[in-house]
Chains A and B, each alone.
Chain A
Amino acid sequence: MASSKSASTSDVIYTARLIRTANPSRPTGTAIAVRDGKVLGVGTLEECQSWGITNIDRRFENKILTAGFVEAHSHVMAGMFHHIPYVGWFPRMMPNGEVIDGVKSTEELAERVRDIAVRTPLGESIIVAGFDPIYLKTERLSRHHLDAATTEHPVFVFHASGHLATINSFALQKYDIGPGHPAPGVGFDDNGEPNGELREPAAMALSKDEFRAIGRLIFEQETVVQYGASMRNAGITTATDLGVTLHLNDEALAMTVETTQDETFPVRMVAASRVIGAVNDMPDAVERIHSARTKSHHKLHFPIVKMVLDGSIQGFTAVVQWPGYYTGDDHGLFLLPPEQVVDYLRPFHKAGIGIHCHCNGSTTSQVFIDAIEQLLQETPWLDHRHTVTHAQLMTHAQMRKARNLGMCANFFVNHVFYWGDQHRDITVGPDRAHGMNPCGSADRIGLPYSFHTDAPVTPPGHLHTMWCAVNRRTASNQVLGENEKISIDRAFHAATIDAAYQLHMDHLVGSLEVGKYADMTVLDDDPYTVDPMEIRNITIWGTVVGGVPYERPVHSS
């Protein structure tokens, strides 16, 4: 065999202002040599050239290259804003790179809908999404605001929370929703007339065609394509679609395999099935994952499975320990019978499949951790890395026990910014709110963790999660959890190698080490040296995945 020092024509060296590797042995460099899509070496240009490579690509000369960001919990629905106009409060980048301004009032929302109506054939549905009234100071959205936009189309405004939709009078009439309609979740005004609000999916489903149109998106190839684009724009090089039923469906699996194989698909994807069914369906689900793994390739991986144990904190459906919620009614809802959780998980644990379990509440975190303890006693597996995902209200005792058992946490740290004020004032009260998503404590305890965006729930991208973890600022710019702040160095590792670790992918991605994929996030500035409050504002050029640059499309506004 020829010496590996004989260069091949596809070898390339990228130079940069600085490269941050997330490899503690060699944390920085100014050049990276790439061969066969893998890291040949990081160091100085001279060191890289010593491999005999003459092909030097200087396009990143003034950029910061970092180990590619790894998102361990998002959803392909993040690609939905390609299909459905975005009308949220915060400016948001669309999959095509265009940044859409935030909607700051109900009137502005009506204007956006009116603009869409003039180019939509009469009678055809208008669906918009991401509306976020929690920040609005204006009057509560009702059908009347939407009627001002159009009386000739059904309008369906899907709110950011996912728990509410508002429809116009045309849609109310279309579905025969009038005064006294008996369905729970239909909102009425003081005169007993429907106000257009449909609370929770069951009521939203009354607006049948629009509701179904949204639901169908998950199965469309274009949604996966746009998901990849969104991740590229956000600088993500490995993205986990956590909790699709995709690969229980042969057709959807084939679509995902085909889409990710396309060389223009810009992100490495981890597809984690959310398994549904009865306990005795689980062995079959294990077989399905084994069979999906035979179709994996360098950009599609099936290392883990997803389970969901409860709901959301802001929806009061997470199951929380004593004393329960701070205000509001406790609707804490188990999604699996707690005593059966261990039976659900057993087949995956025994088969060596990593388990990521959605636990927003402290009760469900406990149930999951206890189940893992039992499974480890039954079937030792020293390297399982089972992960509590969301993990927002994990207690310190739970974190110590999870550490002892070899588990990980994946914190939903974006909550500090997006809903931190509400958690402090409404859902769990000040004490627990300060300790939510406790990265600092996890470090003190020694529990490995990552953090996630749950995109499309919050916009994809680790600059924002890192900013949250470092600054702990709420939307009203107050510090929530001073003692849970972490350093930028810890945040960077959580967003890269530690995320890869909990996905059982750290031998492939998460740091720039010899032999691993040459996956990089390309930034205009260095998150380590900018003002910490500016971390989230750093411009992302795009990514390099397997040595191939994927540039974010730039829209001039």
Chain B
Amino acid sequence: MTNPRVPTFVIAGYLGSGKTTFINALLSGGATNVAVVVNDFGDVNIDASLIRQTHADTIELTNGCICCAIGGSLADTLFTLLDRPTIPSTVIIEASGVADPASVAAYTHISGLSPAGTVVLIDASEFSDNHRNELIRSTLERQVRAAHLLAFTKTDIATDVQRNEVELIVSALAPQTPAVATTAEILAFLVDAQPSPRIDPAPGAHNRFSSRTHHFSRPPSRNELLEFLTALPRSIVRAKGIVELSDGECVLVQQTGHHRALSAIDAAPTGIVLISSE
């Protein structure tokens, strides 16, 4: 039997939106066996005590995580990552600040990976100013449109005017896309989907998050499962878990914002962890 495909997220966002903070938080937080693919090690800052081994383009961590820098091409980096003896449980690709997240996400379909959604970070304190800059406006808009889940960062230092402006711009560009105000630390848990006590109500301007696990009273049919997921309120920003279907098949459910992936899996049912923002 072939290995199950590894759920793969894309994290995108313009300069200063908090991608690196997010990656640093993720690698030194509770994550295990997560592979992070970054454009460069430039600002990646990992606690020295967590580093097991450093190579030219990879850093192995004691918690089982690995951080890879894209040397030649993204495809090569991903293939090389999947050639390693240990297959990661989650892959997170950091898109460059100017990349089109959709073209990066296209790589999450390659052999061995399965797409798990694109999260676009938005610096609430800078976005509206940047959006007035004609040079980069289309870059920003492309990013917003490509998002399955939008995450506003730095909401605590943004003014009310800035917050209102960014919400207006973003909701016009991507009216259907769930959006949360969050910190990089919390976001790390969102994409890693580890239900964790660290998902505490955040102070100030941030959303509050809560998580619960849903168990079906009897194995649903595939259609019933899809109906259940479709009916979830938009405040559910993340859903993940293994569900046994009525025909006996087990499927891995991966939902990030409005991105949904169902894949067959050879593992015991866990119920679905639902993370909601308020």
Chain A residues with CB under 8 Å of chain B are 175, 181-185, 200-203, 205-206, 208, 211-212, 215, 218, 245, 248-249, 276-281, 330-340, 363, 367
Residues of chain A with a CB closer than 8 A to B100's CB = 331, 333
Residues of chain B with a CB closer than 8 A to A203's CB = 106, 109
B102 at the A interface (CB under 8 A):
yes
Residues of chain A with a CB closer than 8 A to B111's CB = 175, 206, 208
Find out whether the CB atom of B138 lies under 8 angstroms from the CB atom of A200: no
A55 and B42 CA atoms in complex are apart in Å by 59
Residue of A nearest to B130 (CB): A339
Q: Which of B41, B73, B106 contacts A183 (CB under 8 A)?
A: B106
B1 at the A interface (CB under 8 A):
no
Known pairs A182-B109, A208-B79, A278-B43; A337 contacts B15 (CB<8 A): yes
Find out whether the CB atom of B103 lies under 8 angstroms from the CB atom of A245: no
Known pairs A331-B100, A335-B98; A276 contacts B40 (CB<8 A): yes
Residue of B nearest to A219 (CB): B72
A315 and B53 CA atoms in complex are apart in Å by 41
Residues of chain B with a CB closer than 8 A to A218's CB = 72
Find out whether the CB atom of A278 lies under 8 angstroms from the CB atom of B42: yes
Find out whether the CB atom of A280 lies under 8 angstroms from the CB atom of B15: no
Tell me which residues from 76 to 115 in chain B have a Cβ below 8 Å from any Cβ of chain A.
Answer: 76, 79, 96-100, 102-103, 105-107, 109-111, 115
CB distance from B90 to the nearest CB of A (A): 19
CB distance from B29 to the nearest CB of A (A): 22
CB distance from A316 to the nearest CB of B (A): 12
- Can you list 27 A-B pairs, Cβ within 8 angstroms, ordered by A? A183-B106, A185-B106, A201-B73, A202-B75, A202-B109, A203-B109, A205-B107, A206-B109, A206-B110, A206-B111, A211-B75, A212-B75, A215-B73, A215-B76, A249-B56, A249-B71, A276-B70, A277-B39, A277-B69, A278-B40, A281-B41, A281-B42, A333-B98, A333-B139, A334-B136, A363-B135, A367-B135
Inter-chain pairs besides A212-B75, A215-B73, A215-B75, 7 sampled, C-beta below 8 Å: A184-B102, A185-B106, A201-B75, A215-B76, A277-B40, A332-B138, A339-B135
Residue of A nearest to B110 (CB): A205
A337 and B75 CA atoms in complex are apart in Å by 22
B189 at the A interface (CB under 8 A):
no
Find out whether the CB atom of A280 lies under 8 angstroms from the CB atom of B110: no
Q: Which of A184, A278, A337 contacts B106 (CB under 8 A)?
A: A184
Tell me which residues from 42 to 80 in chain B have a Cβ below 8 Å from any Cβ of chain A.
Answer: 42-43, 56, 69-76, 79
A340 and B111 CA atoms in complex are apart in Å by 35
Q: Which of A212, A278, A363 contacts B39 (CB under 8 A)?
A: A278
B9 at the A interface (CB under 8 A):
no
Find out whether the CB atom of B79 lies under 8 angstroms from the CB atom of A280: no
Residues of chain A with a CB closer than 8 A to B115's CB = 182
A218 and B106 CA atoms in complex are apart in Å by 24
Q: Which of B43, B98, B103, B106 contacts A280 (CB under 8 A)?
A: B43
**How does the 8 Å CB contact mask read for B15-56 relative to A, with 1 for contact and 0 for none?**
100000000000000000000000111110000000000001
Find out whether the CB atom of B42 lies under 8 angstroms from the CB atom of A277: yes
Q: Which of A185, A208, A245, A337 contacts B136 (CB under 8 A)?
A: A337
Known pairs A184-B102, A277-B39, A280-B42; A245 contacts B71 (CB<8 A): yes
B209 at the A interface (CB under 8 A):
no
Q: Which 9 A-B pairs have the closest CB atoms?
A: A278-B42, A202-B106, A183-B109, A277-B40, A205-B75, A278-B40, A334-B98, A202-B107, A184-B106
Residues of chain A with a CB closer than 8 A to B96's CB = 335
Known pairs A206-B109, A337-B14; A212 contacts B98 (CB<8 A): no
Q: Which of A203, A335, A337 has the most CB of B within 10 A?
A: A337
CB distance from B103 to the nearest CB of A (A): 6
Find out whether the CB atom of B110 lies under 8 angstroms from the CB atom of A208: yes
Q: Which of B14, B15, B107, B109 has the most CB of A within 10 A?
A: B109
Q: Which of A202, A248, A337, A338 contacts B110 (CB under 8 A)?
A: A202
Residues of chain B with a CB closer than 8 A to A333's CB = 98-100, 139
Find out whether the CB atom of A281 lies under 8 angstroms from the CB atom of B40: yes
A330 and B136 CA atoms in complex are apart in Å by 14
Residues of chain A with a CB closer than 8 A to B41's CB = 277-278, 281
Tell me which residues from 106 to 148 in chain B have a Cβ below 8 Å from any Cβ of chain A.
Answer: 106-107, 109-111, 115, 135-136, 138-139
Residues of chain A with a CB closer than 8 A to B69's CB = 277
CB distance from A523 to the nearest CB of B (A): 38
A175 and B111 CA atoms in complex are apart in Å by 8
Residues of chain B with a CB closer than 8 A to A363's CB = 135
Find out whether the CB atom of B73 lies under 8 angstroms from the CB atom of A279: no
A387 and B110 CA atoms in complex are apart in Å by 37
Find out whether the CB atom of B138 lies under 8 angstroms from the CB atom of A330: yes
Residues of chain B with a CB closer than 8 A to A281's CB = 40-42
A206 and B79 CA atoms in complex are apart in Å by 11
Residue of A nearest to B15 (CB): A337
CB distance from A373 to the nearest CB of B (A): 16
Residues of chain A with a CB closer than 8 A to B74's CB = 202
Residues of chain A with a CB closer than 8 A to B110's CB = 202, 205-206, 208
Residues of chain A with a CB closer than 8 A to B40's CB = 276-278, 281
Residue of A nearest to B102 (CB): A184
Residue of A nearest to B133 (CB): A339
Residues of chain A with a CB closer than 8 A to B97's CB = 337
CB distance from B46 to the nearest CB of A (A): 15
CB distance from A51 to the nearest CB of B (A): 50
Residue of B nearest to A203 (CB): B106
A333 and B70 CA atoms in complex are apart in Å by 19
Residues of chain A with a CB closer than 8 A to B139's CB = 333-334
CB distance from B126 to the nearest CB of A (A): 12
Residues of chain B with a CB closer than 8 A to A335's CB = 96, 98
Known pairs A202-B103, A335-B98, A338-B136; A212 contacts B79 (CB<8 A): yes
A211 and B78 CA atoms in complex are apart in Å by 13
A265 and B47 CA atoms in complex are apart in Å by 48
Known pairs A208-B110, A276-B40, A277-B42; A200 contacts B135 (CB<8 A): no
A334 and B14 CA atoms in complex are apart in Å by 12
CB distance from B278 to the nearest CB of A (A): 32
Residues of chain A with a CB closer than 8 A to B56's CB = 249
Residues of chain A with a CB closer than 8 A to B73's CB = 201, 215
Q: Which of A185, A205, A245, A279 contacts B72 (CB under 8 A)?
A: A245
CB distance from B70 to the nearest CB of A (A): 7
Find out whether the CB atom of A338 lies under 8 angstroms from the CB atom of B71: no
Q: Which of A202, A332, A336 has the most CB of B within 10 A?
A: A202
Residue of B nearest to A367 (CB): B135
CB distance from B200 to the nearest CB of A (A): 32
A185 and B56 CA atoms in complex are apart in Å by 32
Residues of chain B with a CB closer than 8 A to A183's CB = 106, 109
CB distance from A87 to the nearest CB of B (A): 23
Q: Which of A181, A277, A279, A338 contacts B135 (CB under 8 A)?
A: A338
**How does the 8 Å CB contact mask read for B225-250 relative to A, with 1 for contact and 0 for none?**
00000000000000000000000000
A208 and B96 CA atoms in complex are apart in Å by 24
Residue of B nearest to A363 (CB): B135
